[in-house]
Amino acid sequence: MIIFATKREKSMNILLLIGGLILILLGANGLTDGAASVAKRFHIPPIVIGLTIVAFGTSAPELTVSVSSAIKGSADIAIGNVVGSNIFNTLMIVGCTALFAPIVITRNTLRKEIPLCILSSIVLLICANDVFLDKAPENILNRVDGLLLLCFFVIFMGYTFAIASKPSTTEQAGQIEAPTIEEETEIKSLPWWKSILYIIGGLAALIFGGQLFVDGATGIARNLGVSESIIGLTLVAGGTSLPELATSIVAALKKNPEIAIGNVIGSNLFNIFFVLGCSASITPLRLSGITNFDLFTLVGSGILLWLFGLFFAKRTITRIEGGIMILCYVAYTVVLIYNI
């Protein structure tokens, strides 16, 4: 009977995880379509819709899971989800996209956006090292850290809007023009009632799906006898990064692999500054299972992306470099599993 109950519990946890993820993805899609349609009715520029509503839509799974985890007291899942998602985004998504088609990186991205992404990881590393820096008894992302991250998010959004408001120019040396968000984003025109229904239904699916997903993830961690941080860094992170992975691979198949870089950078910045900022502002997050190895891997993955773009194949992430990035992620995952 005990064996039967255990098997049944494992099956239920897997169903909760999968069902929650499906609800999160459907909810994010519905909320994004509904909100974008309403914004279009009010004649809000597509660039603004792309930088806010669409950006939120692709990062809604991370936001939902991290906030739900924080409220339920599963801080390691909340933080591990963001750290693991960003590592997955940088190494696996960019790596897989480069295998489909080499990715050309613009000078502006190399000089500003990727360094900003690295900076966000360093800010998180500093905020999460209270024991080393302040001789505190434990590492905590407190409400002050959360508000600091949200301030960085406001600065990032201001910078993004300032860049987006400028007329697009072709780069002098490479003559490469990055796809605009208007070109990337197809905004659906929906009736008023359907837009409101999409928004309400999307929010409900996100909230309910997030609760199911966190319950399933914590249950699986309990069944397997591993820490919530390992589940957050791997299983949860990979699941919540599915929208970014799908978007980037589709972009590569449509001969626009450059979109993957913007997708990854935007998502990574949103995850650290907004997702963790919101989560830590709601309730302090204790880092019991997330170590400096994970945080330094996060910083190192951004530096690796920057080095590959800067020094080797003329601002291009080649298939070989993409393969190396995938191998780096596999090695990181193996180390995590080996140290369980």
Q: How many helices (H) and strands (E) does the chain have?
A: 18, 4
Of residues 34, 302, 36, 55, the one with CA closest to residue 157:
55
d(CA 62, CA 64): 6
Of residues 124, 100, 332, the one with CA closest to residue 237:
332
Tokens standing for 190? 């929906």
Q: What is the pLDDT of residue 276?
A: 95
**Looking at the predicted structure, is the pLDDT value of residue 113 above 70?**
yes
Q: What is the pLDDT of residue 47?
A: 53
CATH number of residue 334's parent domain: 1.20.1420.30
The residue ranking higher by pLDDT, 230 or 249, is 230
The residue ranking higher by pLDDT, 213 or 4, is 213
The residue ranking higher by pLDDT, 313 or 78, is 78
d(CA 49, CA 47): 5
d(CA 209, CA 137): 35
Stretch 87-114: mean pLDDT: 90
Stretch 217-240: mean pLDDT: 85
Q: What is the pLDDT of residue 53?
A: 67
**Looking at the predicted structure, is the pLDDT value of residue 112 above 80?**
yes
Q: Which of 162-171, 179-188, 210-219, 272-281 has the highest mean pLDDT?
A: 272-281
Tokens standing for 10? 């494992």
- DSSP letters, 153-186, are HHHHHHHHHHHHHSPP---TTT---PPPHHHH--
Of residues 66, 55, 8, 101, the one with CA closest to residue 239:
66
d(CA 300, CA 281): 27
> Residue 193's domain spans which residues?
2-338
Q: What is the mean pLDDT of the chain?
A: 83
d(CA 263, CA 94): 10
Q: What is the pLDDT of residue 186?
A: 56
For residue 220, the tally of other CB atoms under 10 A from its CB is 20
The model scores a pTM over 0.95: no
Stretch 184-197: mean pLDDT: 73
d(CA 220, CA 87): 22
Burial of 162 (0-12, 13-18, 19+ CB in 10 A): exposed
**Looking at the predicted structure, is the pLDDT value of residue 187 above 80?**
no
- Residue where the block lists tokens 């190192």: 300
* pLDDT category of residue 109 using cuts at 50, 70 and 90: confident
Stretch 183-204: mean pLDDT: 76
Stretch 225-250: mean pLDDT: 84
Using one digit for the tens of pLDDT, what is the confidence trace for 147-179? 999 999 999 888 877 776 666 544 444 444 444
- How many structural domains is the chain composed of? 1
